[in-house]
Amino acid sequence: MRLFESSLGQVTADLQRLTPILDLYRGDFLESFTLHDTPAFDDWGTAEQEHYRRLVVRGLTVLSQLHKINHDLPAALEALTRALAFDPLQEDLQRAARRMQYLSGDRAGAIRRYDHLRKLLDEEMGVPPMAETRALYDAILADTLPIELQSPTTDRRRSLSNRVTELFNN
């Protein structure tokens, strides 16, 4: 886990470097390990698990953005799907995944993903999706979502590289 964390701290917006680093994450920290009658240890272990999960979700989000810049929408969607496995209630990632599905030509899948999220939010939290989430759904239903793919310019890569540095150093 320490190698995973230290490697992420050195990463830039480089697809070839980020992918093997994210492959170092193979499961939760001390998964299924516990000590009897040690609530402080359990609390520490839970905090460490959450820390590493946040790092891998950040990394997968960046990986998705890099794939999108390179016009590899299936790989971008796969990275977001992996990130959402950690927390399917993250609406920003859900919106990005739905956008990738739609842009990949899977409009029906994007609609199903919204319906699943809506049910999940209702069951888990008793709330409807955010306004931005609903607006994206409406645009997909109406088939009016603008195609926003741009060529991978140096400025976009530099901007993403700066965001990567911010993400992993905070």
Q: pTM of whole model > 0.75? A: no
> Rounded to the nearest 5°, which phi and psi values hold at 118?
-60, -45
Q: Quote the pLDDT of residue 17.
A: 76
Q: Quote the pLDDT of residue 95.
A: 96
Let me know whether 43 and 29 are in one domain.
yes
| C-alpha gyration radius of the chain | 18
Let me know whether 142 and 156 are in one domain.
no
Let me know whether 14 and 59 are in one domain.
yes
Q: Quote the pLDDT of residue 18.
A: 77
Low-confidence residues of the chain, pLDDT below 70? 1-14, 26-35, 45, 148-170
Rounded Cα distance between 73 and 92, Å, is 17
Let me know whether 143 and 155 are in one domain.
no
Q: Quote the pLDDT of residue 29.
A: 60
Amino acid at 98: R
Domain that holds residue 128: 88-148
The pLDDT tens digits of the residues spanning 14-49 come to 677 777 777 777 666 656 666 677 778 777 767 778
Residue 21 makes CB contacts below 8 A (sequence gap 6+) with 4, 7, 8, 11, 59
Q: Is residue 99 a contact partner of residue 139, using CB atoms and an 8 Å limit? A: no
